[in-house]
Structure 1
């Protein structure tokens, strides 16, 4: 079941990709997406707002992903942290909805 307002944080290193992600994540009426390109910005956003899902996007290394995931889970155990590999808007939406259904 989809929350009334889904809050999504996306962390990636490529500014152009994150600009597209921002547009895609904010397209549905009941989604609010924030995109960042630095770990510090991700932590700051996470401390400021509660997120349902965190997407780890292009350019974030496996080691960085592990550190971020540990941080997010420590501060909000129920948050979904998922690696996003790219694809079109339909794939992104289905990926997010699938993660919500299978949490």
Structure 2
């Protein structure tokens, strides 16, 4: 089974490190973390990703969401601003469920 690929973008380095560690703790997930928008865009353009997780401190949040969706319309974008590992997992699983439902709908439309 292919691992789900994540890009995590956040300005707070300690929080970014925690988010990457939490995502990578799931053996079916792989995350790369960035604190610089341009570096994140470069990585995004070179990789097929499943989920973008935006964390705190991003000044150009709407611009970044627009960029990601323009390049990969099926990408799931999660806005995560804290709340612990349980909330993070819930947000990820919710995004995956929404993605699954959307694909089912598209296949039956």
Judge same fold: TM > 0.5, yes or no.
yes
Q: 4+ runs of 1 displaced by more than 6 Å?
A: none
Task: Mark the runs of 5 or more structure 1 residues left unpaired by the alignment.
Answer: none
Match of 1:87 in 2: 83
CA apart distance, 1:5:
1.2
The answer to whether structure 1 residue 37 and structure 2 residue 45 are counterparts is no
Aligned length: 99
RMSD between superposed Cα atoms in Å: 1.3
Task: Choose which of 48, 65, 70 in structure 1 pairs with 2:61.
Answer: 65
State the TM-score, normalizing by the size of structure 2.
0.85
State the TM-score, normalizing by the size of structure 1.
0.89
Task: Choose which of 51, 54, 57 in structure 2 pairs with 1:56.
Answer: 54
Q: Which structure dedicates a bigger proportion of its chain to helix?
A: 2
